[in-house]
Amino acid sequence: MKILILISLVSYFLSTLGFWFYLYTKNEKGRKLGFSLFGLGFLLQIVYLLGTVFTYKYIPVSTISDILFFLSMVIAAIFYGFSLYKKNLKEFGAIYAPIIVFLIALSLPNYSPSEQIHNNIWFYAHIVFSILAYAFIVASTVIAVIYLLTERDLKKKNLKSFFVSKFSSSLSTLQDLEYKATLMIFIFLSLALITSSIWSSVYLGKHWLWDKKQILLSVLWIFYGILLQVMIIKHEEKKKASYLTILGSVLALIAYWIVEHPQY
């Protein structure tokens, strides 16, 4: 099964080169090649996931390597969602493909079939919803950075800058994507906290454990709830919302990857 991961890694890497070729030359063949290779990598990831579930009878999200691989696949799915929303968003593959390459490559050195199988649906639901939330955090951060840099260059009337000349998405499209991604983050964080509470209640006898990771995820949930309100009510302050989106990604990095769950 590991060979599927390696081939998908190569496919995403070649996809990155195709998208980059398109950005610098605007040759449509580069975008088509990049999108096709991206699709091959994504298809191989799905085959790997289904094969693991069929072979080992569990969803591969129990180890850090599993989580990184699953996260990369969700980011790929989000990119496809974007490209279906607007055709010209396919060029975003030039950013999302290398992120996926990095995540898959990071998961490979420690790859091995998980021996830690959790026979309860609430554990898997919590992990999956958490990964979905983080994937949208990554997606929204990319959009926010592109929006801020594009808006800056347009304000300076620098129409030959990289982000203005190479990316054809309008500011309103980027704003709409950022809002939709933030909405999905809030929904999935809510579901992650709910399933975590049910899991801890069923298996540990408490809905709330007061561990640092659970507290930080709750703070992150509140942050994105506030950010969502800022985007809805203070819709004219687009730039401030994008800065808050980037701040949210820093908080998420701490909550997800730096602070660990205690052992129970």
Average pLDDT of span 14-43: 93
Q: Which of 39, 47, 38, 147 is nearest to 98 (CA)?
A: 38
What confidence score (pLDDT) does residue 197 get? Answer: 87
Work out the pLDDT band at 75, boundaries 50, 70, 90: very high
What confidence score (pLDDT) does residue 263 get? Answer: 62
How high does pLDDT run on average in the chain?
87
What confidence score (pLDDT) does residue 208 get? Answer: 72
Question: CA gyration radius for the chain?
Answer: 19
91, 22 contact by CB (below 8 A) = yes
What confidence score (pLDDT) does residue 35 get? Answer: 93
Largest distance between two CA atoms of the chain:
60
CA dihedral 231, 235, 236, 239 (to 10 degrees): 20
Tens of pLDDT, residue by residue over 115-150, are: 555 567 888 888 999 999 999 999 999 999 999 988
Amino acid letter, 229: Q
Q: How far is CA 212 from the centre of its chain?
A: 23
**Cβ count within 10 A of residue 117:** 11
Q: What is the 3-state secondary structure (H, E, C) of the chain?
A: CHHHHHHHHHHHHHHHHHHHHHHHHCCHHHHHHHHHHHHHHHHHHHHHHHHHHHHHCCCCCCCHHHHHHHHHHHHHHHHHHHHHHCHHHHHHHHHHHHHHHHHHHHHCCCCCCCCCCCCCHHHHHHHHHHHHHHHHHHHHHHHHHHHHHHHHHHHCCCCCCHHHHHCCCCHHHHHHHHHHHHHHHHHHHHHHHHHHHHHHHHHHCCCCCCCHHHHHHHHHHHHHHHHHHHHHHCCCCHHHHHHHHHHHHHHHHHHHHHCCCCCC
Tens of pLDDT, residue by residue over 210-253, are: 778 888 999 999 999 999 988 887 655 678 889 999 999 999 99
224, 186 contact by CB (below 8 A) = yes
Give the rounded percent of residues in the chain with a pLDDT score beyond 70.
91
Tens of pLDDT, residue by residue over 32-47, are: 999 999 999 999 999 9
| Calpha distance 127→186 (Å, rounded) | 15
By the 10 Å C-beta count (0-12 exposed, 13-18 middle, 19+ buried), 234 is classed as: exposed
96, 79 contact by CB (below 8 A) = yes
What confidence score (pLDDT) does residue 91 get? Answer: 87
